[in-house]
């Protein structure tokens, strides 16, 4: 592939051309982003400043909240600002950086969700060995492995994007830079590249989703032998995890597990895993969690 580049910036077409719709979206998604930041930072600080931080489940939850903030901040501030301007541009360098950061933080988040499922599996299926299996050293190792996995996923995506030749139209039919929209405007045959991207993003996401699905089936099967109170508490925690997984993975699988084509629905679906899911994570994990609500009261409303 010849690495030629005759453009210095891309034009993002955004969600809509209608000015009224853009103003409405600005107010809506600015509110969502503020709620996302406040909610996730509230959880992160509450866990770090309470004894819950020493429990593996809440340690991983604090890591998830941190990833939510990093992941959505790669896209959302730029997206919100673009809603107020007529011409939405992004420099070539920032576009490549956005591709790398989106896939890095996104994959780290996917792997942390997997680690959280493993934590619940050990807690419910092997309760007597839980503290041995999920000791602090192994928790740190699992989080480090998630970061390494994120890098292993994102560097190939970044390498593909940065080697693409761009010599013609520079309009990207999306509100952020991603690999499929970039393939559409590259001036080369992208069939083989599209297959590689599908394998690196779509197949990996599907495999992780299937692993999570099977793990929760095993967990729910094991719960038959627990007491009523134990089942209620475990189902409350697992229900939160399953809700997050469905909201995050459903749109992501549809977006990446297919040939490299662009559909109008892609931009709407992307909102789910870039803004909506990270915004709802704090609510999902706290509304039915007594320990989390108690820790938040102790940190923020000390008597």
Which of 45-54, 233-242, 282-291, 292-301 has the least mean pLDDT? 233-242
Query: For the ranges 44-48, 76-80, 261-265, 278-282, which has the lowest average pLDDT?
Result: 261-265
CB 109 within 8 A of CB 40: no
CB 46 within 8 A of CB 295: yes
Tokens 């192994």, residue? 138
Most confident by average pLDDT, 14-18, 56-60, 166-170: 56-60
Quote the pLDDT of residue 138: 93
Q: Could you say which architecture CATH assigns to the domain 9-300? A: Up-down Bundle (1.20)
Task: Supply the pLDDT for residue 250.
Answer: 82
* Every domain of the chain and the residues it spans: 9-300
Alpha carbons 214 and 245: distance in angstroms, whole number: 13
Q: Which residue has the higher pLDDT, 39 or 255?
A: 39
- Output b/e per residue, 99-135; b: 16+ Cβ within 10 A: bbbbbbbbbbbbbbbbbbbbbbbbbbbeeeeeeeebe
DSSP 162-201: HH--B-S--EESSSS--HHHHHHH-SS--HHHHHHHIIII
Query: If residue 10 lies in a helix (H) or strand (E), which one and from where to where?
Result: strand 9-12
Instruction: Name the token pair of 230.
Output: 């134990």
What are the backbone dihedrals phi and psi of residue 9, each rounded to the nearest 5 degrees, phi first? -155, 160
Question: CA 236, CA 287: separation in Å to the nearest integer?
Answer: 10
**pLDDT one-digit tens code per residue, 27-40:** 999 999 999 999 99
- Looking up tokens 């210095």, which residue turns up? 8
Question: Residues 275, 76: contact at Cβ < 8 Å?
Answer: yes
- Residues contacting residue 260 through CB under 8 Å, at least 6 positions apart: 179, 180, 183, 184, 190, 193, 194, 197, 198
CA dist., res. 186 & res. 170, Å (int): 9
4 has pLDDT over 70: no
Q: Residue 1 has what pLDDT?
A: 45
In whole angstroms, give the CA distance from residue 267 to residue 8.
Answer: 24
Nearest CA-CA partner of 278 in 36, 28, 30, 29: 36
Burial class (CB in 10 A: 0-12, 13-18, 19+), 54: exposed
172-207 tens-digit pLDDT: 888 999 888 888 888 888 788 888 887 878 788 888
Q: How many CA within 13 A on the CB side of residue 94?
A: 12
Mean pLDDT of the chain: 85
> The whole model's pTM is what?
0.88
């Amino acid at each position: 592939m010849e690495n030629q580049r005759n453009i210095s910036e891309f034009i993002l077409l955004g969600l809509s051309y209608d000015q009224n719709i853009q103003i409405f979206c600005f107010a809506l998604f600015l509110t969502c982003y503020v709620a996302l930041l406040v909610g996730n930072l509230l959880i992160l600080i509450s866990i770090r400043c309470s004894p819950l931080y020493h429990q593996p489940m809440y340690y991983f939850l604090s890591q998830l909240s941190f990833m939510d903030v990093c992941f959505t901040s790669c896209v959302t501030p730029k997206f919100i600002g673009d809603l107020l301007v007529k011409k939405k541009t992004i420099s070539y360098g920032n576009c490549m950086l956005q591709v790398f950061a989106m896939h890095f933080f996104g994959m780290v988040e996917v792997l942390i969700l997997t680690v959280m499922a493993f934590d619940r599996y050990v807690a419910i299926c092997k309760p007597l060995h839980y503290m041995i299996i999920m000791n602090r050293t192994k928790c740190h190792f699992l989080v480090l492995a998630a970061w390494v996995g994120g890098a292993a996923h994102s560097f190939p995506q970044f390498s593909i994007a940065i080697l693409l030749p761009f010599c013609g139209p520079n309009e990207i039919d999306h509100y952020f830079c991603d690999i499929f929209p970039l393939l559409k405007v590259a001036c080369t045959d992208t069939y083989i590249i599209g297959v590689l991207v599908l394998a690196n993003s779509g197949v990996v996401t599907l495999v992780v989703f299937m692993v999570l699905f099977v793990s929760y089936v095993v967990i729910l099967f094991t719960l038959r032998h627990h007491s009523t109170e134990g089942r209620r508490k475990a189902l409350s925690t697992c229900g939160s995890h399953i809700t997050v997984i469905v909201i995050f993975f459903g749109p992501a699988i549809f977006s990446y597990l297919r040939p490299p084509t662009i559909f109008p629905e892609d931009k709407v679906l992307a909102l789910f895993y870039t803004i909506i899911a990270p915004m709802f994570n704090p609510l999902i994990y706290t509304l039915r969690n007594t320990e989390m609500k108690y820790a938040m009261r102790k940190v923020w409303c000390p008597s």
